[in-house]
Amino acid sequence: MLQIFLGSLLLSIIHASIPNHWLPLIAISKSENWSRRETMTATAIAGFSHTASTIMIGILVGLLGFKLSENYEPVIRIIAPVVLIALGSIYILVGIKHSHFHDSERITNKSSKIAIIASLSFGMFFSPCIEIEAYYFSAGLIGWNGILIVSVVYLIVTVIGMLILVDLGLKGINKLNWHFLEHNEKRVTGIVLISIGFLAFFVY
C-alpha cells in the first residue's frame, strides 16, 4: 500500500508540474483578460477533465491486472514491474511527446470564454497520461484498494498542483526557470517508473 501511494504521489507531482499543463492557461487568461476566479475555474475544469479520462482508462487497466493476477499470479507479479521498467526505459530513450495544449495558440483566438474552456477540457480529456496508466496495472494487483489509492492521489495532486502553479503564475512567479522540467519531463518520469519497477520486484 505504501509503495503504491508513494509511487502515485511522485508520478502525480511530476505530472502536475509539466509546464504545458498550466502555462497555456496563464497565457489564455492574460490574453482574454480573465479574472483570477475565472482562470482558476477554467483550470479546475480542465484539470478534472484530464484526470477523469485518465482514471477511467486506469480503472480498466487496473482491473485487468487484478483479473490476470487471480489466475496467473506468479507470472503477473513479475510482468507488472517489467512493464514499468520497460515503459520507463522508453520514456528515457525515446522521449514520447504529450499533446495536452499543443493547440493553445489557436484556442486563444476564440472569443467565447465557454468555447475556450470547452476546447481546453475536450483536449485534456482526450489526452490521458500513459505513465500513470501503466502504474494502474501494478496497483491492480492488490485489488480495488490499489486502484482507489492511485485514482484519489492522482486526482487531488494533479488538480491542486495545476491550481497552485496557475495561481503563482498569475502573481508573476511564473518567471521561474521551467526549462529543465519542460525538456526533461519524460526522462524524470522514466527514472521514477524504472525505480518503482525495481522496487516492486522486492515488495511483491
Query: What confidence tens digit (pLDDT) does each residue in 8-66 have?
Result: 898 888 878 877 678 778 877 877 788 889 999 999 998 999 899 889 999 998 888 78
For every residue of 119-169, DSSP letters joined together read HHHHHHHT---HHHHHHHHHHGGGTHHHHHHHHHHHHHHHHHHHHHHHHHH
Amino acid of residue 106: R
DSSP state of 192: H
Segment 101-130, tens digit of pLDDT: 444 444 444 456 787 788 777 777 777 777
pTM over 0.75: no
